[in-house]
């Protein structure tokens, strides 16, 4: 298939999602789904309440969105409340339609896992939990995937210390601040540069 024909098919699929799928989704889930303007990538997108994620995902699957492409997370602290978003990209094959579902949630909200519908959601949902602290209801194995099990905190949160947990330690001696940097005596370093050592 020529490249231009594939681009035309993708554009037609995007237009169909914008004009048919999104309005039908808004009608089916009146108070649980809100439309959003597409970003620069032009992917149609909607906000979904955490309690409606499972129903919306099943609704999309019934309409041909048979592939969950990826799952990601974002933290908008302190600019937005709720601060977290879990982002899902669904794709129709072979029709090439795509939609982005964005779930705004707090730390206490627990969107339902989609791992029992799309097994590929298992690992990315664990990653979102590990990095942001967002929990997923009924996840079969919700534990850390990138960090050690005894890691404190969630490193991709906007309020996480830049130096990690050690930035929270109250050090008794100022010299401890430089324990990870090499110690160099400036006078000795200057003497070493002179050819005769004087």
Query: Cα–Cα distances in Å, from 48 out to 66, 96, 102, 108, 166?
Result: 19, 22, 6, 16, 37
Of 157, 72, 61, 65, the residue nearest 121 (C-alpha): 72
Distance (Å, whole) CA 36 – CA 168: 39
Q: What are the sequence ranges of the domains in the chain?
A: 3-150
Domain covering 3-150 in this structure, CATH number: 3.30.460.80
Over its length of 198 residues, how does the chain's per-residue pLDDT go in tens digits? 688 998 999 999 999 999 999 999 999 999 999 999 989 999 999 999 999 999 999 999 999 999 999 999 999 999 999 999 999 999 999 999 999 999 999 999 999 999 999 999 999 999 999 999 999 999 999 999 999 999 989 999 999 988 777 666 665 655 555 555 554 555 555 555 556 555
Sequence-ordered list of residues with C-beta below 8 angstroms from that of 123, at least 6 positions apart, any chain: 145
The encoded tokens of residue 84 equal: 């977290």
CA dihedral 123, 137, 149, 168 (to 10 degrees): 110
What are φ and ψ of residue 44, in 5° steps? Answer: -60, 140
């Amino acid at each position: 298939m020529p490249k231009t024909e594939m681009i035309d098919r993708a554009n037609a699929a995007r237009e169909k999602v914008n004009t048919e799928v999104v309005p039908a989704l808004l009608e089916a889930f009146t108070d649980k789904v809100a439309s959003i303007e597409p970003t620069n990538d032009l992917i149609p997108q909607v906000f979904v309440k955490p309690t409606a994620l499972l129903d919306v995902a099943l609704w999309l699957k019934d309409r041909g969105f048979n592939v969950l492409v990826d799952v990601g997370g974002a933290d908008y602290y302190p600019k937005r409340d709720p601060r977290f978003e879990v982002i899902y990209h669904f794709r129709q094959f072979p029709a090439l339609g795509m939609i982005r579902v964005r779930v705004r949630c707090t730390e206490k909200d627990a969107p339902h896992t989609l791992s029992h519908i799309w097994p590929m959601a298992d690992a990315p949902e664990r990653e979102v939990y590990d990095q942001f602290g967002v929990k997923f209801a009924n996840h079969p194995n919700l534990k850390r995937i990138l960090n050690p099990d005894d890691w404190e905190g969630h490193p991709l949160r906007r309020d996480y210390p830049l130096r990690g947990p050690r930035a929270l330690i109250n050090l008794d001696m100022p010299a401890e601040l430089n324990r990870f940097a090499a110690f160099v005596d400036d006078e000795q370093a200057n003497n070493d540069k002179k050819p005769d050592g004087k």
